[in-house]
């Protein structure tokens, strides 16, 4: 029997999951982190370990219509990069499942950099690796705080709310995408 949503939310709150997971995304060692959290919440040790051991099951599939937009941009010669709040471990698990990830010119993984979005250092890392100018770089994210941080650094920020809105936003910027 699966727990109800409220029980899941309560568990996540009780163990401080959001902060713990953000530390994983920033590069904290998974095994050490599971031990640490399990020691603090021995009653939940199995569930905490299951998150590490069964993490791949948490992945949903790609949003195909968004991947189509990405393909259109690439076909037209638009340089594309990824900036992800993932640990190296989770990225390496996920990457083979999502072939579109191979097409990025560079991928900046928060776990490699040691910090996560919205920390300005990770955006600067992306700009440096890509030899990009902030004012001509479009940053797309579904998290408003991440978009705001990018805009504060001078990037063009778009909040992802769905593929059709993204297509319209990109077209409004003059990028080569099919009209919706």
Q: Say whether both 95 and 146 belong to one domain.
A: yes
Beta bridge partners of 141: 159
pLDDT at 2: 52
Residues 53 and 92 in one domain: no
For the segment 20-48, the average pLDDT, to the nearest whole number, is 95
Q: How many domains does the chain have?
A: 2
Over residues 29-35, the mean pLDDT reads 95
Which of 58, 76, 95 lies at the terminal end of a domain, its last residue?
Answer: 58
Per DSSP, helices labelled H in the chain are 5-15, 17-25, 30-40, 45-53, 64-75, 88-94, 110-113, 120-130, 144-152, 163-172
Contact 89, 56 (CB under 8 A): no
Q: Are residues 153 and 98 in the same domain?
A: yes
Q: What is the mean pLDDT of the chain?
A: 94
Angstrom distance (rounded) from CA 84 to CA 134: 18
Whether 73 has a pLDDT exceeding 80, the answer reads yes
Q: CA torsion, points 155, 156, 160, 161, in degrees to nearest 10?
A: 140
Give the separation between CA 10 and CA 12, rounded to whole angstroms.
Answer: 5
Please list the residues that pair with 81 across neighbouring strands.
Answer: 106
Task: Report pLDDT for 8.
Answer: 84
Q: Which of 55-59, 69-73, 155-159, 162-166 has the lowest mean pLDDT?
A: 55-59
Q: Summarize pLDDT for 138-154 with one digit per residue, the tens.
A: 999 999 999 999 999 99
CATH number at residue 87: 3.40.50.1000
Which band of pLDDT confidence, cut at 50, 70 and 90, is reported for residue 5?
confident
Q: Do 119 and 82 share a structural domain?
A: yes
Query: What is the model's pLDDT at position 19?
Result: 95
Res 3 pLDDT > 70: no
Same domain flag for 145 and 79:
yes
Is 180 domain-assigned? no
List the domain range (segments joined by +) for residue 51: 5-58
Average pLDDT over residues 113-118: 96
Asked if 124 and 76 sit in the same domain, the reply is yes
């Amino acid at each position: 029997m699966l727990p109800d949503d409220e029980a899941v939310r309560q568990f996540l709150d009780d163990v401080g999951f959001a902060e713990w997971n953000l530390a994983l995304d920033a590069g904290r060692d998974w095994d050490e982190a599971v031990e640490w959290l399990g020691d603090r919440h021995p009653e939940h040790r199995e569930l905490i370990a299951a998150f590490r051991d069964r993490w791949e099951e948490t992945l949903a599939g790609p949003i195909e219509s968004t991947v189509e937009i990405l393909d259109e941009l690439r076909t037209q010669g638009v340089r594309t990069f990824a900036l992800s709040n993932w640990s190296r471990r989770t990225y390496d698990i996920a990457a083979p499942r999502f072939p579109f990830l191979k097409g990025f010119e560079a991928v900046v993984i928060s776990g490699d950099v040691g910090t996560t979005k919205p920390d300005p250092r990770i955006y600067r890392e992306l700009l440096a690796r890509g030899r990009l100018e902030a004012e001509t770089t479009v940053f797309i994210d579904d998290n408003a705080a991440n978009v705001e941080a990018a805009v504060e650094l001078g990037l063009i920020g778009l909040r992802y709310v769905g593929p059709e809105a993204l297509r319209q936003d990109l077209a409004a910027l003059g990028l080569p995408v099919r009209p919706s």
